[in-house]
Amino acid sequence: MNCFQLYLSELNWIKLLIYFLLFLVIYSYSFYKVGNTLYRKNSNNIYEFSIIPLFTEGFIGPIRGIYFLLLDYNFYGSFIILRIILTSLWSPYAVILLLYLVNYIQQLYLEYIHIRL
């Protein structure tokens, strides 16, 4: 591996880190704005910051909802829920899709101006 390839791999890691941080900011802000709180009461009735529901229920909840609708043979309802999940920023899947599209458009632009990183 020469120095240029090592530099490119470092750039890819930096780009991946930037996209991950953007994912966290967009998803957590949208999750909060929908009305889901990141401050939850514990057993002592004291508010604590808890990011666990953001990742547990945020990722598993939409899949579970579609699964239950499909078990009930409600294909139209599952299609509607899937469309909402893929277009609302409170869903982690929509944020991942948005960042993928941003990366795709960026790559198309770089190919258009003939600059390859």
The pLDDT value recorded for residue 10 is: 62
What does pTM read for this prediction?
0.71
Q: Could you report the per-residue pLDDT of 98-115, keeping only the tens digit for each? A: 888 888 888 888 778 766
Question: What's the sign of the alpha-carbon dihedral 43, 49, 51, 54?
Answer: positive
- Judged by DSSP in three states, 38 sits in coil
Q: Could you report the per-residue pLDDT of 29-78, keeping only the tens digit for each? A: 887 787 766 777 778 888 888 777 777 888 888 889 889 989 988 889 88
What is the pLDDT confidence band of residue 3, given thresholds at 50, 70 and 90? Answer: low
